[in-house]
Amino acid sequence: MEGIKFRVWDKVANKWLDYEEIYFDQEGEVYLIEERTWAYQTYMHKENITENVETVRFTGLKDKNGKEIYEGDILKYEESINNGLRDIEVTRIAEVSFGLGMFWGGYGNNLAQVRREAKVIGNIYENPELLEESK
């Protein structure tokens, strides 16, 4: 398992912010940090953007291709289910979420169980249509 990591989605600009652009304080507030120059002096400008962003956690896991999996990522994987008569292979497209103390890969599947077969195909911020297509 890897260290604690976050990604920050700017809901106003519709983009991921770079690590160099953000700062978290002890209360969990998120700030945008910008370097500005005025009258030959460089200083740091800090703006609270907590209300305009979504912060998502790294799960500590990677998909079958080695890509890091974050909350809000959309996974695609094959699963075998039994319909009472036989096993049927189905393709699942699901959002990664956190609840009950663990990360989930959709359809009641613990993320740790499906990640070896799963591939990150997008996320709910940039590709919400992927979840709509799977319904």
Strand partners, 32: 22, 47
Decide if 1 is inside a domain: no
pTM, 2 dp: 0.80
Do residues 105 and 99 lie in contact, with contact meaning Cβ atoms separated by under 8 Å? no
Query: What per-residue confidence (pLDDT) applies to 37?
Result: 72
Q: What is the CATH number of the domain that holds 98?
A: 2.30.30.290
Residue 10 lies in a domain: yes
User: Count of domains in the chain?
Assistant: 1
CA 120 to chain centre: 10
Asked if the structure places residue 24 within a domain, the reply is yes
Q: Which residue in 22, 26, 33 sits closest to 56, CA to CA?
A: 22
Q: How many residues are given for the chain?
A: 135
Give the structural domain span for 32. Answer: 6-133
- Is residue 80 assigned to a domain? yes
10-residue mean pLDDT series, the chain (135 residues): 82 90 88 78 81 93 93 90 82 84 76 84 94 74
Q: Looking at the domain assignment, is residue 127 inside a domain?
A: yes
